Amino acid sequence: MTWSCWFKELGFYTVGATYMCTRLVVNTSQTYIPFYVTRTMDLNATSIATVPLLVYVAGFASASAMQWANTRFGRGATFAASAAMSGSAAALMLALPGHHAWIAYVLALLLGAGNAGMMVTSVS
């Protein structure tokens, strides 16, 4: 197969679109987390570092379980579950009232696990 034959394959575009959309979700959520913490939830300055740290730690922990999840459930189901985790974390953060700001820490763990699951599955 030559390099130009790849442009005739549907799977090439499917994988490219999946990876691009995954990067968009992950980069956008990582970029706006500090603004969400300070402006929307009105948490203290240490939360600017703590919440993204929780996202990264949860992502690291869930990335180690992705090989098991991909072999047990399949890549499609693992990607769908990870996308549902990220989407539900984002939706719950949007609907979270300000007086329950501590829940943002729990949702950061859910967001990190979902983002890492999507990234690992889309790359593999």
Greatest mean pLDDT among 1-5, 38-42, 73-77, 97-101 lies in 73-77
Six token digits for residue 49: 């570092």
Residue 60 and residue 120 in contact, taking contact as beta carbons nearer than 8 Å: no
pTM as predicted: 0.85
Residue 37 pLDDT? 84
What are the sequence ranges of the domains in the chain?
Answer: 32-123
Residue 89 and residue 107 in contact, taking contact as beta carbons nearer than 8 Å: yes
> What value does the mean pLDDT take over residues 32-50?
84
Residue 81 and residue 102 in contact, taking contact as beta carbons nearer than 8 Å: no
- Distances in Å between the Cα of 50 and the Cα atoms of 6, 28, 46, 53, 97 are 43, 18, 6, 5, 19
Residue 49 pLDDT? 87
